[in-house]
């Protein structure tokens, strides 16, 4: 099956309005689940926590986009590609908020760790509040970037919102990776944990009509390209200048 056929078959799957809008033009990503299985060695090779943590990797790349774009917006919004930022925010909404947060964490992870008690349970209320605050900020970023240009009246507020979002979500995802997800795995036991890993894969297929992770990686790479952030080497710290 060529890329066009794959896209046509994915488009034929019902109930995929948001993913179609978000991922619609992404030929390379339009691969089916069996491709993923072939690469990873079979069903169940990507565990639930590995899935969740690599999803955080995609979200962190959007945070880097926000962090790099915020001072540019504050300095001169006319030089910032508003369409690329809108794509980044749309991806965060579809992949981060509507899938990772709402379908996985809020439905499965948080209830399990809250029931188990301990340090992870004590974080759940704050994590949920941060999801909500993030959604408010995403809505603001989308509103400010629609129409292909950033209005000059709100540049300081937009830059502040993006920086605040980055600061919050870096701490949020790091706590989830190191405290919440390990507690989730421990609370379930191996058998139930393996079952939920497969269930997460199924939710991903239903939500995106294919491998949502691969689609999201391609999408964020396009945003990085548009904003001049694609070359990893540009992030290497400068040599030490000792005085």
Which residues sit at the interface with Fe ion, rule CB under 5 A?
Answer: 105, 176
> Closer CB to Fe ion, residue 4 or residue 174?
174
Query: CB 132 → Fe ion: shortest distance, Å?
Result: 11
Please state, in angstroms and rounded to a whole number, the distance separating the CA atoms of residues 127 and 130: 5
Query: CB 13 → Fe ion: shortest distance, Å?
Result: 26
> Closer CB to Fe ion, residue 57 or residue 117?
57
Angle at 180 between CA 49 and CA 33, to 5 degrees: 20
> Closer CB to Fe ion, residue 105 or residue 201?
105
Query: CB 176 → Fe ion: shortest distance, Å?
Result: 5
Q: Which residues contact 90 (CB under 8 A, 6 or more apart)?
A: 21, 22, 142
> Closer CB to Fe ion, residue 134 or residue 209?
134
Query: CB 69 → Fe ion: shortest distance, Å?
Result: 22
Q: Confirm if 52 and 109 have CB atoms less than 8 A apart.
A: yes
> Closer CB to Fe ion, residue 138 or residue 144?
138
Query: CB 209 → Fe ion: shortest distance, Å?
Result: 22
Query: CB 127 → Fe ion: shortest distance, Å?
Result: 5
What region, left, alpha or beta, does residue 210 occupy, with left being phi > 0 and alpha being psi -120 to 50 degrees? left
**What residue is closest to Fe ion based on CB?**
176
Contacts 24+ apart (CB under 8 A), 195-203: 196/48, 196/108, 197/44, 197/46, 197/47, 197/48, 197/51, 198/43, 198/44, 199/108, 200/48, 200/51, 200/52, 200/104, 200/108, 201/33, 201/43, 201/46, 201/51, 203/99, 203/103, 203/104
Query: CB 175 → Fe ion: shortest distance, Å?
Result: 9
Residue 105 CA: distances (Å) to CA of 26, 90, 97, 200: 26, 19, 10, 11
> Closer CB to Fe ion, residue 11 or residue 129?
129
> Closer CB to Fe ion, residue 81 or residue 176?
176
Please state, in angstroms and rounded to a whole number, the distance separating the CA atoms of residues 120 and 117: 7
Q: Confirm if 58 and 216 have CB atoms less than 8 A apart.
A: yes
């Amino acid at each position: 099956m060529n890329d066009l056929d794959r896209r046509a078959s994915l488009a034929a799957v019902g109930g995929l309005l948001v993913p179609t809008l978000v991922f619609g033009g992404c030929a390379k990503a339009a691969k089916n689940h069996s491709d993923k299985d072939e690469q990873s060695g079979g069903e169940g090779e990507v565990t639930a926590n590995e899935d969740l943590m690599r999803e955080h990797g995609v979200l962190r790349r959007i945070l880097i986009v926000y962090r790099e774009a915020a001072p540019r917006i504050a300095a001169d919004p006319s030089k910032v590609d508003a369409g690329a930022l809108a794509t980044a925010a749309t991806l965060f909404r579809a992949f981060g908020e509507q899938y990772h947060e709402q379908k996985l964490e809020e439905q499965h992870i948080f209830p399990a760790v809250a029931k188990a008690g301990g340090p992870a349970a004590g974080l759940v209320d704050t994590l949920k509040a941060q999801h909500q605050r993030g959604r408010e900020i995403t809505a603001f970023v989308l509103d400010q970037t629609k129409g292909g240009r950033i209005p000059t009246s709100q540049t300081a507020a937009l830059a502040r919102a993006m920086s605040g979002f980055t600061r919050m979500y870096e701490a949020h995802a790091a706590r989830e990776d190191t405290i919440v997800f390990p507690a989730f795995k421990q609370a379930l036991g191996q058998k139930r944990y393996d079952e939920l890993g497969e269930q997460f894969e199924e939710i991903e297929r239903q939500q995106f009509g294919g491998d949502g992770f691969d689609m999201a990686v391609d999408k964020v790479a396009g945003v990085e390209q548009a904003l001049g952030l694609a070359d990893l080497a540009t992030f290497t710290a400068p040599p030490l200048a000792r005085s």
